[in-house]
């Protein structure tokens, strides 16, 4: 059903209608559109802009339509341009002329962005909840390996030994920042655009603050022109999703590397692996690779919306219709990837012995020699030089650092005595890293506990927001 046409002598050409049409992707806004229509109806009725009997009939029809949409009984048809026109057709089919009464004081411009905000809030909460489940998996897995040493890397070269629990737990801190960003986004996005009309507000007695509250928003717009053109919340959500994707991709890279034959640290469960159609022996970490690969489209979706917004004149321009598919795609992508990665992490086992054996190799304890001298107040430049000389000596004679003789140590530096061997063990090195946030297992245990507590709190907060949102939707 066309929502316009009075001043036209002919309808749109087929190609024009095909390009205009957004119903094939915006139909998923239907529940939010129906709910925001109820809020608009409430203010029209409250301020006497609609007969009370008509308002009651419209409300009943909106509720029926909601149920029919949910059950798939009411569907768009070929002549519907977008979700708004399809639903107005549904109302008119039930009520006749008064089905169009809701258009008073409202434009699709303020309507569509209100709907999209509600959709975005609903789905970011779902993603946040999945993130807390991912956090649980990461932190529980980390806790299993607190006392297991492994080589820590910089430049993918052995750097210093670390607690493997510490190595795994780092990911939880990255996702905690994403959850923080979501919290921040929720605060900033809690602004209703309803009442802004096409761009200038309305001459009818509407009450944007009332509709805002009715829809669970913290506040209503301050500038109607900005209200219909603002898509910052879309771009910001896409940034958050791209960042989550980037974090997932780094997990994907690690899991792929660690499960390789060369590393053979990670044993990914069969349920989270795939086989090869030609090589029967293969067990591939495809979930990890897809987590890595999907980051491409998450970043791409952000770029596409930012590019669409760049240089766009204010108020409404049809370009803005292009805000939806990237947002939908990023959400759908994460709804697929997050549970798979969560399961993959929860079911992966690591070869403790192999990691422990590798921990001291590659002279990863050389820093201990330098720190030993630094504690004796030897200037660090000299201490570093001396530790480097020990490594060179070992390389030339194929020895490990702790195998150098007292005489060799003293020859390298007069203050480097045999006592240094006490710190040339992986456990000694790990336990000595007691700086706050460091890799000493006793500290790692505390870090993980604290992160688990924080995650449980975040989870509870998200659950109550979800509850409030679904109560608002079904009000």
Site string for ligand ARG, 112-151 (x = CB under 6 A): x---------------------------------------
**Contact, 273 vs 285, CB < 8 A?**
yes
Shorter beta-carbon distance to ligand ARG: residue 323 or 371:
323
Among the listed ranges 65-73, 265-273, 314-322, 420-428, the one in contact with ligand ARG (CB under 6 A) is: 314-322
Is 320 one of the binding residues for ligand ARG (CB under 6 A)?
yes
Q: What's the min distance (Å) between Cβ of 318 and ligand ARG?
A: 6
Where in 338-397 is the site for ligand ARG (CB under 6 A)? Answer: none
Nearer to ligand ARG, 192 or 455 (CB): 192
Q: Which residues contact 126 (CB under 8 A, 6 or more apart)?
A: 335, 466
| Residue 318 within binding range of ligand ARG, rule CB under 6 A | yes
Place of tokens 């760049």: 310
By beta-carbon proximity to ligand ARG, the closer residue of 176 and 315 is 315
Q: Hey, what are 142's tokens?
A: 């980390």
Positive or negative CA dihedral for 445, 449, 451, 455? positive
Interface residue with ligand ARG among 210, 258, 316, 372 (CB under 6 A) is 316
Binding residues with ligand ARG: total (CB under 6 A): 10
From 107-115, 182-190, 265-273, 410-418, span contacting ligand ARG (CB under 6 A): 107-115
Tell me the C-alpha distance between 172 and 141, whole Å: 11
Q: Which is nearer to ligand ARG, 321 or 415 (CB)?
A: 321
435-439: long-range contacts, CB 8 A cutoff, minimum separation 24: 439/152, 439/160, 439/161, 439/162, 439/163, 439/166
* Residue 270 burial (C-beta neighbours within 10 Å; 0-12, 13-18, 19+): exposed
In the three-class reduction of DSSP (H, G, I as helix; E, B as strand; rest coil), residue 305 is classed as helix
CB of 182 to ligand ARG, least distance (A): 24
Minimum gap (Å) between residue 362 Cβ and ligand ARG: 56
Which residue, 86 or 186, has its beta carbon nearer to ligand ARG? 86
d(CA 32, CA 310): 27
**Choices 106-114, 250-258, 290-298, 422-430 (CB under 6 A): range interacting with ligand ARG:** 106-114
Asked if 82 interacts with ligand ARG (CB under 6 A), we say: yes
Q: For residues 139 and 454, give the distance between their C-alpha atoms in angstroms, rounded to a whole number.
A: 11
Nearer to ligand ARG, 71 or 318 (CB): 318
CB of 303 to ligand ARG, least distance (A): 20
Contact 313, 325 (CB under 8 A): no
Q: Is the dihedral of CA 437, 442, 444, 446 positive or negative?
A: negative
CA angle 248, 125, 219 (to 5 degrees): 130
- The length of the chain in residues reads 475
Name the catalytic one among 276, 397, 464, 470. 276
Extract the tokens encoding 343.
């399961």
Q: Taking CB under 6 A as the rule, does residue 321 contact ligand ARG? A: yes
Out of 9, 155, 203, 277, pick the active-site residue: 155
Q: Which of 421, 443, 446 is nearest to 431 (CA)?
A: 443
Query: Do the strands 157-163 and 149-154 form a parallel or antiparallel pair, or are they unpaired?
Result: antiparallel
Task: Report how far residue 147's alpha carbon sits from residue 28's, in angstroms, rounded to the nearest whole number.
Answer: 49
21 near ligand ARG, judged by CB under 6 A: no
Least separation in angstroms between CB 324 and ligand ARG: 6
Binding-site member from 35, 106, 108, 231 for ligand ARG (CB under 6 A): 108
Of residues 25 and 263, the one with the C-beta less far from ligand ARG: 25
Nearest distance from C-beta of residue 55 to ligand ARG, angstroms? 25
Per CB under 6 A, the segment of 162-170, 313-321, 396-404, 438-446 that binds ligand ARG is: 313-321
Concerning whether 276 is annotated as a catalytic residue, the answer is yes
Name residue 150's beta-bridge partners: 162
Q: Is 432 one of the binding residues for ligand ARG (CB under 6 A)?
A: no
Q: What's the min distance (Å) between Cβ of 30 and ligand ARG?
A: 13
Q: Measured from the CB atom, is 82 or 178 closer to ligand ARG?
A: 82
Relative to beta strand 219-220, strand 349-350 is unpaired
The rounded distance, in Å, linking the Cα atoms of 429 and 157 is 18
Q: What is the binding site for ligand ARG (CB under 6 A)?
A: 22, 26, 82, 108-109, 112, 316, 318, 320-321
Active site residues: 155, 276
């Amino acid at each position: 059903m066309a929502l316009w046409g009075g001043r036209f002598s002919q309808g749109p050409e087929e190609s024009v209608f095909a390009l205009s049409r957004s119903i094939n992707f915006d139909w998923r806004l239907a529940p939010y559109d129906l709910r925001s229509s109820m809020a608009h109806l409430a203010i029209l009725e409250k301020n006497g802009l609609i007969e009370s009997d008509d308002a009651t009939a419209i409300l009943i029809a909106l509720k029926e339509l909601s149920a029919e949409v949910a059950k798939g009984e009411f569907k768009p048809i070929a002549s519907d341009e977008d979700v708004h026109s399809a639903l107005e057709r549904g109302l008119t089919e039930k009520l006749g002329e008064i089905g169009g009464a809701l258009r008073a004081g409202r434009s699709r411009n303020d309507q569509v962005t209100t709907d999209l905000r509600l959709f975005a809030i609903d789905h970011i909460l779902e993603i946040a909840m999945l993130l807390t489940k991912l956090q649980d998996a990461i932190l529980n897995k980390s806790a299993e390996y607190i006392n297991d040493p492994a080589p820590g890397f910089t430049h993918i070269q052995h750097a210093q030994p670390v607690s493997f629990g510490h190595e795994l737990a780092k990911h939880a801190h990255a996702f905690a920042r994403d959850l923080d960003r979501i919290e921040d986004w929720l605060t900033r996005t809690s602004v209703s655009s309803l009442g802004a009309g096409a761009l200038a507000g309305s001459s009818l007695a509407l009450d944007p603050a009332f509709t805002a509250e009715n829809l669970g928003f913290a506040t209503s717009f301050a500038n109607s022109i900005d209200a219909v053109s603002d898509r910052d919340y879309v771009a910001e959500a896409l940034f958050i999703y791209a960042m989550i994707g980037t974090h997932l991709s780094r997990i994907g890279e690690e899991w792929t590397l660690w499960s390789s034959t060369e590393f053979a640290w990670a044993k990914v469960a069969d349920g989270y692996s795939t086989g090869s159609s030609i090589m029967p022996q293969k067990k591939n970490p495809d979930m990890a690779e897809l987590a890595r690969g999907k980051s491409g489209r998450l970043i791409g979706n952000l770029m596409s919306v930012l590019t669409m917004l760049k240089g766009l004149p204010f108020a409404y321009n049809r370009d803005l219709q292009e805000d939806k598919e990237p947002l939908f795609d990023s959400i759908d992508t994460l709804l697929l990837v997050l549970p798979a990665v969560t399961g993959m992490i929860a079911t992966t086992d690591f070869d403790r012995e192999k990691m422990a054996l590798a921990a001291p190799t590659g002279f990863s304890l050389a820093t201990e020699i330098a720190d030993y001298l630094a504690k004796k107040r030897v200037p660090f430049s000299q201490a570093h030089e001396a530790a480097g000389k020990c490594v060179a000596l070992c390389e030339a004679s194929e020895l490990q650092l702790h195998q150098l003789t007292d005489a060799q140590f003293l020859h390298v530096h007069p203050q480097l005595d045999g006592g240094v061997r006490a710190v040339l063990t992986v456990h000694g090195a790990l336990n000595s890293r007691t700086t706050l946030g460091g890799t000493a297992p006793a500290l790692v245990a505390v870090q993980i506990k604290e992160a688990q507590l924080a995650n449980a709190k975040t989870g509870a907060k998200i659950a109550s927001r979800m509850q409030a949102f679904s109560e608002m939707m079904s009000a």
